[in-house]
Amino acid sequence: MWKSRKLKKIEAKSSELLNGPELLVHSIRDKDVCPQHQSPLYSAVPPEIRNMIFALALLYTYDKSRPFSTDTYYYRPDFLYRDRIDTSLLLTCRQVYLETWSLPLSRNDHVFWCYRGPHDASPFRFFSSLNDEQRALVERIHIFAQLYWFEDQHSEFSRTCRHLAFTPRSIHITIRHSDWWFWEHNNALELKDGWTESLRSVKRLEELVLELETIERDKDQMYAVAERFRKRHFTIRDGLVLKPDDKPPFKQEWMGPASYDDGHTYNTEGKYWFQRAYGSDPSKPKIKYCIVKLRWNATRM
């Protein structure tokens, strides 16, 4: 059948998004590779220990030379600094490359700040940039999502879940205090149910973590939202259901900013947020933030 030039370009682009670039590891496998027997790492260290060393070396670490400002929306427990991963190990030799090329993808949690983060990141674009072999390596992702990005069946989250390239086994979703609808206007906390339908499209999904956060003033509202979701089961695919964890929800408190770099500031006496004209107020004492974390695991019912 005759196809227009435009249609052919669209089909080619779709194929490129799903199949990704050719991997360097394929070309290296076709070459002669020195087994590196002269190196103690290969002649004296057992392979199991060597693999553990490689895996640890290729984990994300804090870059303590680049701390996050404490008045930003992304400064929080476990996110105090920019992270980095040192991939120079992969440049050592072909043998090391063959043993380690997959580890940065498979061993790390891949974090996406979908608004108000240190950088913009899209899980849709990330998975589209990988080929099938690379996508199969990605196990865990962590999404920081505002509710407009996440909540209903027509959201960016839903679009991402429907994409054939989106195949993580574990999805961790964090709704920060600043991600709730109209938090800056002191509105009540509310989370709709539509987003759970999107999970049906994620074909390898085995675990879901939902993390909610708010300030101490609104913690009872947040706990009520968590309780509404806590005992629910979500049908995902092929007779599988996400079943809630038997353990009680994890709760945490931390002291965070009362004034943000865009001017949103908390009046501790009146217990309301207001907008300053210029930036954060460094004289404001920290306020208490409360977190609750829920977990579901896939099971066959």
Which whole number is the average pLDDT over 193-220? 95
Q: Annotate the chain with DSSP letters as a single string.
A: ----HHHHHHHHHHHHHHH-SPPHHHHHHTS-----TTSHHHHTS-HHHHHHHHHHHTS-EEEEEEEPPTTSTT-BTTBSEEEE---GGGGS-HHHHHHHTTHHHHSSEEEEEESSSSS---HHHHHHTS-HHHHTT--EEEEEE-HHHHSSTTSHHHHHHHSTT---SEEEEEE-GGGSTTGGGTPPP---STHHHHGGG-TT--EEEEEEEEEGGGHHHHHHHHHHHHT--EEEETTEEEEEPSSPPEEEEEEE-SB-TTSEEEETTTTEEEE-SSS--TTSPPEEEEEEEEEEEEEE-
Residue 73's CB is within 10 A of a number of other CB atoms, namely 23
pLDDT of residue 301: 77
Determine the Cα–Cα distance for residues 286 and 197; give it in Å rounded to an integer.
38
Is residue 53 very low, low, confident or very high in pLDDT (cuts 50, 70, 90)?
very high
pLDDT of residue 227: 96
Which whole number is the average pLDDT over 206-232? 97
Q: In one letter, which amino acid is 203?
A: K
Average model confidence (pLDDT) for the chain?
Answer: 89
For residues 23 and 59, the model is more confident at 59
Locate the domains of the chain by residue range.
24-68+75-107, 118-301
73 CA to centre of own chain: 16
pLDDT of residue 23: 67
Which of 174, 240, 154 has the alpha carbon at shortest distance from 204? 240
Q: For the segment 54-84, what is each residue's pLDDT rounded down to a tens digit?
A: 999 999 999 999 999 999 999 999 999 999 9
Listed in sequence order, the residues at least 6 apart from 128 whose beta carbon sits closer than 8 Å to its beta carbon are: 17, 18, 20, 163, 165
Determine the Cα–Cα distance for residues 88 and 157; give it in Å rounded to an integer.
34
Q: For the segment 155-204, what is each residue's pLDDT rounded down to a tens digit?
A: 999 999 999 889 999 999 999 999 999 999 999 999 998 899 999 999 99
pLDDT of residue 5: 52
Determine the Cα–Cα distance for residues 46 and 92; give it in Å rounded to an integer.
19
Indicate if the pLDDT at residue 12 is higher than 60. no
Indicate if the pLDDT at residue 104 is higher than 70. yes
Indicate if the pLDDT at residue 16 is higher than 50. no
Q: Angle at CA 286, nearest 5°, toward 263 and 115?
A: 45
